[in-house]
Amino acid sequence: MAKGSLVSGSIWDEYSNIVVDRMNNPRHQGHITEEEAEAMNAKLIVADFGAESCGDAVRLYWAVENGTDKIVGSKFKSFGCGTAIASSDIMTELCMGKTVDEAVKITNIDVEKAMRDTPDTPAVPPQKMHCSVMAYDVIKKAAATYKGVDIESFESEHIICECARVTQDTLVDVIKINDLKTIEEIIDFTKAGGFCKSCIKPGGHEAKDIYLVDILKQTREEMERERLESLASSSKEDDFASMSLVQKIRAVDKVVDEMIRPMLVMDGGDMEVVDIKEEDGYYDIYIRYLGACSSCATGSTGTLYAIESTLKQSLDDNVRVMPI
């Protein structure tokens, strides 16, 4: 049945044409035998992965060329929905010609984007994003089998949102640096929780050890403790040298908001703090000029001197300002 034959606005419209085509006409469904792998001068790898939440399962076959680690043959079998078949077919195709080390870097986001008709339109509805996650996981299982290691060795951080591959550390940092207060803001900034929504709170498609609501609550509590501790010990903006990176960024933003930005806005300009790095005892504050400041000749002379001088007086004598 053609995609356009159903009523406009139905759930069918949330699937890309590529997904519809691949679920009905998969290019790489099948298997590879030991004999076929040997004929390719390759080692046969067979990996299985299943999603307990929906009962879908996929088996991945790789023929890995001896001496090069290159995947010269790739097939799959899928026991699941049409989206699982389409995701597995695209995943299998993405593996072809890559080394095992290259293939393990393929993520579920790569799979989902490869199924899109247009770059900015998701290929599947949010609740089906887990199918591309399963495709990503079976790649890791195949790579682990080939290398003789545990699958967990490919994950160095705790993934909270499997759909968008967002880690707990990233979520905490983004919440702190951007002073996020709601789940909606987290979704806007990180895309975590924007797909199947299982990671937002209990009761979703898949059970989690920790949810976005927990991370937001814990991080906001930690931020409040840091704020109270900061108020309890104030010197020259609370001893800039001893601050954490997040505290340094906040201190710089405070000085910019109170003492620098008003001066720039008067002339139609503005600036933003991009990063802070420590280099040979100096605190290099990287800024980007905005508005009229971005084309002003004094951005590298008088204006830069005024910004740097204000930050030095307010924060630390070792501050250096680096326009980018």
Catalytic amino acids?
A: 54, 131
Question: How many angstroms separate the Cα of 93 from the Cα of each of 45, 64, 272?
Answer: 16, 14, 42
Calpha distance 75→47 (Å, rounded): 11
Which residues, in sequence order, are CB contacts of 236 under 8 Å at separation 6+?
Answer: 314, 315, 316
